Structure 1
Amino acid sequence: MSIKPKRLVNAYEERMLEFLQTCLDGTYKIHTQVSLCQFCELDSNLDIELKKFFFSSSVDALITNSDYKPCLVVDFQSSYHDYPEARERDRKKATLLALAGVPLLYSRIKEFGLLQLYSQNEEVIFNLFTGERRENAKALIQKYCGLSAFINV
């Protein structure tokens, strides 16, 4: 039996992380594959199914401020997330993050070269090749990171 290291992120995640880095200044830090229980505290009144999920789930990208307090989670979506089981996991994750007061954005490649950034309330589509609407995507990420200043973390 052998064990060997593997890459932490795939090519899509790598591109998304690089894009996120260009949207943030030095006051923010990006962390990958972070368990929910590392940056959220559990409430004892939580439903048993959510409690189980809490300890077994992670986020693709966690953005923190300079004090390492959570500002924003970005969840990278693929066609895999269209399946009912994945949608249920995404719903649970969104519920837990909402209870913790941590904003959540989703990212997804919609069509060849189009990146969709969206939340429950808004959406920006950015053309990765031409750069069209890049500033809108950057502004959306910065807006959600800025919301954390008003959240008591």
Structure 2
Amino acid sequence: MNNDEQPPETRHLGQQSALPESPEVAVLDYVPNPRAGALYTIRFSAPEFTSLCPVTGQPDFAHLVIDYAPQATIVESKSLKLFLGSFRNHHGFHEDVTVGIGQRLFTEMTPLWLRIGGYWYPRGGIPIDVFWQSGPAPEGLWVPDQGVANYRGRG
């Protein structure tokens, strides 16, 4: 694929795309891994992630870090941004939101390995951090620290 060609089957890349109404209707695009066969880690950080408390309807804020070792495909970043943005109107507990994002990416993309850290800002004075991974990291994979400190006034 040349640099000026659009990857196959993308619905968002190079297109004007509206924010999906919900995570359920959000479409994630996957493109061929340009380094298939190489063992490497891809990281996405979303330091301004928001969703809604299912009880109060108030906004919850988190810093999400998604790490994965791809196989045949990689997630297209614009579609991931739109998917994560669709949670702005989604009511869900921190645990459901964090694990649900990780499981959807793992199920659809089928990477070798995936982990997600959800570093949630305090609600009621207690920060809640949620972690999920698909299993042990593959032997030889460089897995850096996620770089988000325990809560002491995150920023």
TM-score for the superposition, normalised by structure 2? 0.29
Higher share of residues assigned helix: 1
